[in-house]
Structure 1
Amino acid sequence: MTMKKQTTRLLGLTLLAGSVLWSSATFAHCDSLDGPVIEDARKALTDNRIDPVLKWVKPADAQQLTATFRDTLKVRELNGDAQALADRYFFETLVRLHRAAEGAPYDGLKPAGSASAAAKAADKALAAGNANALAEKLGQKVTEFVKNSFQASHRGLKAEDVIAGREFVANYVQYVHSVEAIHDIVAGNHDGH
């Protein structure tokens, strides 16, 4: 298996783990003011070069983002308030286009520090150049999650009344769908984000 495929699978599993295992109110960190998308956007504005952010959008959206970038650079020169407003407009446009490329809705920029524990752990592993600790933690969390979901489903397997039966179905659906999602990710049957 190539390193790219391993990384893609690990990141996919990290994303799944973030949604299933680390209960965090926020999941995506591409819309966070301290996330990698905005970090690259700040660099683009500082360096007066759009190249650092074009990777975050589809080729079809590059022209729109480039036009927004040019407008932002012009408005930034007016004064400090205009610069702050222009920067925010650029960030919002970039994140909106990026989220659309992921097939996800855009619901505004999130405050710094709002990234999920899973996203932070994935970034930390990338920065360290080593995914061993992350993979080990994910393995433990996935094992714990599957066992707990199994137990919750198994307890209600022979439920005879409607209320207990509905509880079983809710647990069963979560259990089976989670196992399917984990399997699809590790088997490479996923579409990225």
Structure 2
Amino acid sequence: MKAARAALQKGDVTYILPYVSEEGEQEVREAFGLADEARALGPTAGEVADRWFFETVVRVHRAGEGAPFTGLKPAGMDVGPVIPAVERALDAGSADELTELLCGIVREQVDARLVHAMALKEHAGEGVAAAREYIEASLGLQVWAHSLYKQAIADPHARAAHPRPRV
């Protein structure tokens, strides 16, 4: 939203274009032109135009990610610890804090899920219901770990032109 605001305030659509796909660029340019014209009609029209432009930008951005548009979110929403850590990593040029954060979260989750499964395993021989609980927990750990692995190696935007670096 900062880039969309900057584009409107400075009268320059190029501030927001890097955030949308090439396929969505023309729509954003057109929306910018219309919003810019409407802003000249007064504060109320400008407020409506700004909101419409923001919604257009977010919708086009989300479409470029293959994700649905679910509306604008209020400013100041808690995004959790990861997004700010990524922003600090990008500012500092160091992955140390982000790596520690993510590894710590994964470690805590693995430990908790394993402890839970092992506690159920102790009683798995006490009947079908107990065995099912253990199997559900152990398969849950496997599915969760596999999903995490697949996400960790996935290209977040699946763009062939910019493949994810393999390490």
Which TM-score band (shorter chain)? 0.7 to 0.9
1:118-165 deviations in whole A, cap 9, x for unaligned?
212222332333321221122122111111112222333436333762
Judged with a 3 Å threshold, the aligned counterparts in structure 2 of structure 1 residues 130 and 168 are, in CA distance, closer, same or farther, namely: same
1:85-111 deviations in whole A, cap 9, x for unaligned?
111111101101111221222111111
SS state at 1:155 partner: helix
Judged with a 3 Å threshold, the aligned counterparts in structure 2 of structure 1 residues 174 and 68 are, in CA distance, closer, same or farther, namely: farther
Which residue matches 2:59?
96
Give the AA of the match of 1:142.
Answer: V
2:43 aligned with 1:76: no
Which residue matches 1:9?
none
CA contact (8 A) 2:82 2:98 kept: no
Q: Which runs of 5+ in 2 are unaligned?
A: 158-167
Which residue matches 2:96?
132
1:35-82 deviations in whole A, cap 9, x for unaligned?
xxx111011112211112112222111111110010000001111111
User: TM-score normalised to the size of structure 1?
Assistant: 0.70
Alpha-carbon distance in structure 1 between the residues aligned to 2:10 and 2:134: 56
Give the paired residue count: 153
User: TM-score normalised to the size of structure 2?
Assistant: 0.80
CA RMSD between the two structures: 2.2
Alpha-carbon distance in structure 2 between the residues aligned to 1:180 and 1:96: 31
CA contact (8 A) 2:3 2:16 kept: yes
Alpha-carbon distance in structure 2 between the residues aligned to 1:156 and 1:65: 54
Match for 1:106 among 69, 80, 100?
69
- What are the residue-to-residue correspondences of 1:145-184 with 2, within 5 Å? 145-157=109-121, 158=124, 160-162=127-129, 165-166=132-133, 168-169=135-136, 171-184=137-150
Judged with a 3 Å threshold, the aligned counterparts in structure 2 of structure 1 residues 153 and 85 are, in CA distance, closer, same or farther, namely: same
Q: Which runs of 5+ in 1 are unaligned?
A: 1-37
